Amino acid sequence: MSDQPTAPATIEDVAREAGVSTATVSRALRAHPYVADATKAKVIEAAGRLRYVANPNASRLASGATSTVGLLAPVLTSWYTSEVVAGVEEVCAEERYDLLIGTADPEARERMLNGETRFKQRVDGVILVDVMCREAGAERLAQLDVPVVVLGEALHAVDSVAIDNIAGAALAAQHLLQLGHRRIAVVGGVSDALDVHDVPNSRSAGFSSALHDAGVALRPEYVADGLFTIEGGCKAAHSLLDLADPPTAIFAMSDEMGFGVLKALRERGMVVGRDMSLIGFDDHPVSDAVGLTTVAQPVRAIGRTGAHVLLGLLRGGTRAHQQHMPLTLIDRGSTGTPPAR
Amino acid sequence: MSDQPTAPATIEDVAREAGVSTATVSRALRAHPYVADATKAKVIEAAGRLRYVANPNASRLASGATSTVGLLAPVLTSWYTSEVVAGVEEVCAEERYDLLIGTADPEARERMLNGETRFKQRVDGVILVDVMCREAGAERLAQLDVPVVVLGEALHAVDSVAIDNIAGAALAAQHLLQLGHRRIAVVGGVSDALDVHDVPNSRSAGFSSALHDAGVALRPEYVADGLFTIEGGCKAAHSLLDLADPPTAIFAMSDEMGFGVLKALRERGMVVGRDMSLIGFDDHPVSDAVGLTTVAQPVRAIGRTGAHVLLGLLRGGTRAHQQHMPLTLIDRGSTGTPPAR
DNA sequence: CTGAAAGCGCTTACAG
DNA sequence: CTGAAAGCGCTTACAG
């Protein structure tokens, strides 16, 4: 009857309180079948009275399951990653899984691929965000003793959730073409991979092939590296504007590079949408404020879907393979018809 | 000698391999004193050969420590929070603590204050980010059986790491006053608390008292609610600009509200820094791109410091009490002298 | 449907 | 400095 503020209640306390064995308590509390309804009610009632919560370390040790999902990402602070993480966290919380987060510096990534990770014995499954492991890396991931889901990159050897970057870039291209642009530039990033499935390469491929389909060639001097940063986008835009025959429209492969382009335009006294058309990619939360037209991707949904795919695997489901999330173009006025020459 | 890809090595395997007891393995691997150097070397060598990693659930169950830090925040996706989380994560990784993240919806917050949380028995200590528990809540937190550190709000009953919001807002006020502004408005947020220590109230207090010290009154009609969102900042700015006698300068209590103000100015064809001076608060990563003058706070350092304070407590250190992080004004040109009437 | 008992893989007094 | 043994708090065959 007396409050015992120290030492949380154990399963034995509950068993005693309910007048059953600890085995029965364990079964009753986890909705295990074959427990008489009356018994179950008694146990739940006793557990509630004692504010009993099973010690996760003990149950994990005994059962062998960790009830924890590991999440590895290169940076946590980008808008994209934090949104994905939030989606994963939501689902994990709903499904009563813990989320263990690790930062994926190159070494951590390599260790992960080798199976010797900080996650060892700590997690039931792993979600990789924007780690870019390529198909070769995916094959090594598939050998791991825990299921893995990769987010942001479409893969075959392991389950993945991604967007169709080729189609997304084509969407941007078609929008600019429809407005009448022909001198169209791209601000993107150089990739170390030849793989068309990585982000810069596939957006680049989708964009240039859409131009090509319309009979417009992507001139080599219209391709500038923006490093996927705001500052890089700014510099890239300046270099494009310094050309003898500058473009009338720019596709920035990310909204953040697009912000840099906006900065460059402002520095030159140019008005976006009139003197220069600009379209981004992502739908960053700031894009609405600055009026940036963009190809929107459902970032939080990517995180949620990834978590659901992984939890499905953990529950013995079959592989979901590649999931492609939908893209939509949002016109905010940063694009317009090309200015008269 | 043969590779056993299944079943990770246990402490018994290592003990056998090294020819010692499991107790000695346990001591040797955790740099426990009183282990002969030769023995220790033998054990470390054997553990390495077997790729042994102690099962965290077993060691936690046996030792009673979780080696895990819990982090609770209302939203994970704001730039501010994700940056703080990244700082906490860095330190936790360095110090070999796991990080367990939870979202602090109002109910979770209340449960936390009551000590019945998802973190129960899972963590050795808790970090609260932007939860706004006030001194009364802090006193309840102090009763918890684990140490707690609060970030973003200066408190007495528990350790806290925050900035001096009053001084920061004064910094902004002085900057505008120096430029010659007298008709100065504030875009902030209404607070449900009377407490001068919460963010909107203290920034508001610091700002108006700095104006007052210069003999300038903050007119009631120059105070607008921006809801701490981009959209809210935009609407607030429009309402200020619709006044018969509009201000010549605006202090936005957050950079994101500042972005909204920028949007409103653009919508009205006004040029920031010339037609209207604007200063924000935070130093959001986009602020550099849009040229927003702001009061910068060291967000990642807040996270890192908070983690260090908590780990110090976990290691038996004494309370660190309030930590105030430094603020700096960054002039990016969105402020200028008032326009001639 | 329920219980007694073994076992999960560590850590830590307690002896020596 | 080291080992035998108890114990951390659960889960889960195995019987019944």
Strand intervals (E) in B116-257: 125-129, 148-151, 159-163, 184-188, 223-225, 249-252
Contact yes or no for B263 and A289 at CB 8 A: yes
The Cα of B112 is separated from the nearest Cα of chain A by a number of Å equal to 14
Q: Check if A136 contacts B (Cβ < 8 Å).
A: no
**Strand order from edge to edge, sheet including A249-252:** A223-225, A184-188, A249-252, A277-282, A293-296, A328-330
Which residue is nearest to the C1' sugar atom of D7, using CA? Answer: B62
Query: Residues 293 to 312 of A: which have CB under 8 A from any B CB?
Result: 300
Mean pLDDT calculated for residue range B28-51: 88
B23 touches strand D (CB under 7 A): yes
Closest chain A residue to the Cα of B257, Cα to Cα: A289
The pLDDT of residue A312: 93
Check if CATH label 1.10.260.40 holds for domain B11-62: yes
pLDDT per residue over B218-274, tens digit each? 999 999 999 999 999 999 999 999 999 999 999 999 999 999 999 999 889 999 999
pLDDT per residue over B103-112, tens digit each? 878 888 888 8
Helix (H, G, I), strand (E, B) or coil at A228: coil
Which residue is nearest to the C1' sugar atom of D12, using CA? Answer: A63
Residues 6+ apart with CB under 8 A from B175: B279, B293, B329, B331, B335
CA B299 from chain center: how many Å? 6
Contact yes or no for A53 and B100 at CB 8 A: no
pLDDT per residue over A24-41, tens digit each? 999 999 877 788 888 889
Residues of chain A with pLDDT under 50: 1-5
Residues of B in contact with A57 (CB under 8 A): 56-58, 60-61, 66, 121
The pLDDT of residue A1: 36
Contact yes or no for A103 and B120 at CB 8 A: no
Q: Which of A56, A102, A230 sits opposite B122 (nearest CB)?
A: A56
Which residue is nearest to the C1' sugar atom of C8, using CA? Answer: A62
The Cα of A200 is separated from the nearest Cα of chain B by a number of Å equal to 22
Residue B113 has pLDDT above 90, yes or no: no
| Residue reference for tokens 């426990």 | B32
The Cα of B98 is separated from the nearest Cα of chain A by a number of Å equal to 7
d(CA B207, CA B216): 11
Cβ < 7 Å from nucleic strand C:
A 20-24, 27, 33-36, 38-40, 58, 61-62, 64; B 7, 9-12, 22-23, 25-27, 29-30, 52, 54-55, 58-59, 61-64
Nearest partner of B329 among B168, B205, B164, B210, judged by Cα? B168
Residue with the bigger pLDDT between B296 and A103: it is: B296
Q: What is the mean pLDDT of chain B?
A: 91
Q: Which of B5, B75, B101 sits opposite A99 (nearest CB)?
A: B101
DSSP A268-297: TTPPBTTTBEEEEEE--HHHHHHT-EEEE-
The pLDDT of residue B194: 66
Helix (H, G, I), strand (E, B) or coil at A186: strand
B62 touches strand D (CB under 7 A): yes
The pLDDT of residue B78: 87
pLDDT per residue over B124-182, tens digit each? 999 999 888 888 889 988 888 889 999 998 899 999 999 999 999 999 999 999 999 99
Residue B154 phi, psi (nearest 5): -80, 125
CATH class of B67-163+299-325: alpha beta
Q: What is the CATH number of domain A165-296?
A: 3.40.50.2300
CB A230 within 8 A of CB A256: yes
Which residue is nearest to the C1' sugar atom of C13, using CA? Answer: B23
Provide, in whole angstroms, the distance separating residue B21's CA from nucleotide D4's C1'.
9
Nucleotide nearest to A121 (CA to C1'): C9
Provide, in whole angstroms, the distance separating residue B62's CA from nucleotide C12's C1'.
9
Q: Check if A58 contacts B (Cβ < 8 Å).
A: yes
Nucleotide nearest to A61 (CA to C1'): C8
* Structure tokens belonging to residue B22: 């499991």
Kindly indicate the confidence band of residue B2, based on its pLDDT and cuts at 50, 70 and 90. Answer: very low
Contact yes or no for B103 and A89 at CB 8 A: yes
Shared fold status for A11-62 and A165-296? no
A61 touches strand D (CB under 7 A): yes
Mean pLDDT calculated for residue range B87-93: 94
Interface mutation vs chain B, best among A10, A53, A82, most B CBs within 10 Å: A82
Residue B19 has pLDDT above 50, yes or no: yes
A297 touches strand D (CB under 7 A): no
The pLDDT of residue A205: 94
Residue A319 phi, psi (nearest 5): -65, 145
Q: Which of residues 19-58 of A touch strand D (CB under 7 A)?
A: 22-23, 26-27, 29-30, 52, 54-55, 58
Residue B280 phi, psi (nearest 5): -105, -165
The pLDDT of residue A3: 38
Protein-covered nucleotides on strand C (Cβ within 7 A): 1-5, 7-13
Residues of B in contact with A103 (CB under 8 A): 86, 89-90, 93
Q: Which of B81, B230, B288 sits opposite A288 (nearest CB)?
A: B230
Residue B5 has pLDDT above 50, yes or no: no
The Cα of A82 is separated from the nearest Cα of chain B by a number of Å equal to 5
Contact yes or no for B90 and A103 at CB 8 A: yes
What H or E segment, with its residue span, contains residue B278? strand B277-282
Strand intervals (E) in B24-89: 68-73
Provide, in whole angstroms, the distance separating residue B123's CA from nucleotide C9's C1'.
20
Q: Check if B333 contacts A (Cβ < 8 Å).
A: no
Q: Report the predicted TM-score, pTM, of the whole model to 2 decimal places.
A: 0.87
Domain range list for chain B: 11-62, 67-163+299-325, 165-296
